[in-house]
Amino acid sequence: MNARNLPPTTWTTGSTEVFRTGTWRARLPRHVSAASPCHAACPVNGDIAHWIGRARERDFRGAWEILTRNNPFPAVAGRVCHHPCETACNRQGYDEALAICKLERHVGDLGLAERWSFPAPPTEHTERIAIVGGGPSGLAAAYHLRRRGYAVTIFEAQAQLGGLMRDGIPAYRLPREVLDGEIARMVALGVEVRCSTPVASAQAFAQLREAFDAVYVAAGARRPKRLPQLDPAQPWVVDGAAWLAQANAGTAPALGPRVLVVGGGSAAIDVARSARRAGYEVTMLALEARAQMPAQLAEVEEALEEGVRLVDGAALVTAAAGATGVVIACVRVNFVAGAGRGHFRVEPIAGSGFTLEADAIVSSIGQDPDLAPFAQALPADGALLRVDAQQATGAEGVYAGGDVASTMRFVTEAIGMGKRAAIEIDRALSAKAGRAPGATDAAGVEAGASHERLAGERLAGFGVEVPGPVALDAIATFYHPQAERAPEARLAPQARLGNAEVQLGLDLERALAEAARCFSCGTCIACDNCFHYCPDLAIRRLPDGGYEVDGNYCKGCGICVRECPTGSMEMIEEVK
């Protein structure tokens, strides 16, 4: 028989594996473990795609465990976080951003309802850490250090832990049983707490440094900023932070029937809404136009629904007692934001003056930290303690974070700083002791593990990191039907009496529907699309659930990458 008439090799071998077509390609696909945009934006580096994936599978305990590796207060954060993750969400470019914050609240509330607790540290270290301040940053640092086995003592000036979560956020936004429950769960790890114990002098701070192996300063910012136009000695001039703390404790002093709140941030909104609940007629005066106000949009909308009057884009010029109350001269302004937070200029508009009347003026334009106890030992940067990217102050064994070291006055930013400091303290002390940092919990996963570590485990070591978060155009959106975001649910304005919580959570079915909207950006979900669509059978399933590309057969067509619903594959140029 002529050789030309022989049957193809596959007929005699029963397999096409003899045709190693991989030599045809110029590019090669690979599976990657890439950061999702929400992870990159999250102040605590939360593994958002991973815990939402668990929630989607109804494994809420698993979701809670992943969530709390980075943030010990999911029920708190799910209520008060400024959620930059949602602004970054790829879904926003497709239909609507995922309601990540509401999902976090749902998981956090389940954790409280089911009384889920943290495992005991797997080992105990001899080093002792002092935390100055029991607000969100100090509590977060204590949590991460205790999970790594350190002896931790919190020194809190107030009678209770919580800092401005307790004193500065009203119960209608953050119910006290939620705050107390999440703090108690953290303290139950074995954290020593000394309330009503301020570190108020240089000598006290020096003694603390002498007695402990490391110190984390998270003393917050409680010194009110003053408006030069207002005389603080006048009985009708009131500090907003002090009044709000008293209101939250149920002991607020009377103000008079008409109240003017000066400020445009979340604290000013909280003062205004709390004053409305106390029965006052409330007007807010904000330098910024409504769209520029630093308060979250939902907070502004809720305040207006509750009867707060907003005078935006205007500045207070003078205030003086008159026959029928305090007469406040104001002027319309153009508010021009600067390059960074707290940097701006105000341009008065000629001929735009007007007056308001009130019985009390509550100034709520922010607070500065009191650096006096630390000034001799720690370098300052203006009104803040100077720290590096790991929250180190430059003084041996001393770290700082939260409002004492940053103008990012958000609860989750403070939590993230506490986590970073804990990781750095652990690294430094472990290096001194000659041991590896990062103790592991009972599940064998590093407490506070990063997205990259977890994703790498999921891909069984075959994931390859890529720079930058996954972009929307890397997602095969065909596999994600368009679906509307979970709607905002609030109490009706007339039902918002006392401390009733205004924003409502998601029920189970709505939470599952919202979790199903997640693209799982950069995270392999083992959907098998790459395996099924490969025309050359070049994708291999691995025994532990991951995949690998067999270069002997892959022609580099890129179909697997185009069909990936999570953007966890990419094409790379292959140099031969």
In 3D, which of 431, 427, 432, 405 has the Cα closest to residue 416?
405
Question: Phi/psi class of residue 242: alpha, beta or left (left: φ > 0; alpha: ψ in -120 to 50)?
Answer: alpha
Q: Which conformational region is residue 195 in: left (phi greater than 0), alpha (psi within -120 to 50 degrees), or beta?
A: beta
CB 273 within 8 A of CB 280: no
The C-alpha angle with vertex 193 and arms to 189 and 196, in degrees rounded to 5, equals 160
253-276 confidence digits (pLDDT tens): 899 999 999 999 999 999 999 999
The CA distance from 422 to 159, in Å, is 25
Q: What is the pLDDT along the chain (576 residues), one digit of tens a residue?
A: 455 555 555 455 566 677 777 777 888 999 988 889 999 999 999 999 999 999 999 999 999 999 999 999 999 999 999 999 999 999 999 999 999 999 999 999 999 999 999 999 999 999 999 999 999 999 999 999 999 999 999 999 999 999 999 999 999 999 999 999 999 999 999 999 999 999 999 999 999 999 999 999 999 999 999 999 999 999 999 999 999 999 999 898 899 999 999 999 999 999 999 999 999 999 999 999 999 999 989 999 999 999 999 999 999 999 999 889 999 999 999 998 877 776 788 899 999 999 999 999 999 999 999 999 999 999 999 999 999 999 999 999 999 999 999 999 899 999 999 999 999 999 999 999 999 987 444 333 343 334 333 333 333 333 334 457 899 999 999 999 999 999 989 999 988 877 899 999 999 999 999 999 999 999 999 999 999 999 989 999 998 888 999 999 899 999 999 999 999 999 988 776
Angle value at C-alpha 167, between 162 and 170, nearest 5 degrees: 110
Distance CA 365, CA 524 (A): 46
Cα 402 to the center of its chain, rounded Å: 13
pLDDT tens-digit series, residues 472-486:
999 999 999 999 999
> What's the one-letter identity of residue 246?
Q
* Dihedral angle, C-alpha 463, 468, 471, 476, nearest 10 °: -10
Sequence-distant (6+) residues with CB within 8 A of 481 are none
Residues in contact with 525: Cβ distance below 8 Å, sequence separation at least 6, in sequence order: 53, 565, 566
Q: What is the DSSP string of 320-350?
A: EEETTEEEEEEEEEEEEE-SSTT-EEEEEPT
Which residues are bridge partners to 540 per DSSP?
Answer: 548
Beta pairing class for 354-358 and 547-549? unpaired
How long a stretch of residues is the chain? 576
Q: Which residues contact 203 (CB under 8 A, 6 or more apart)?
A: none
How far are the Cα atoms of 35, 103, 151, 560, 564 from residue 532, in angstroms, in the given order? 25, 32, 52, 9, 11
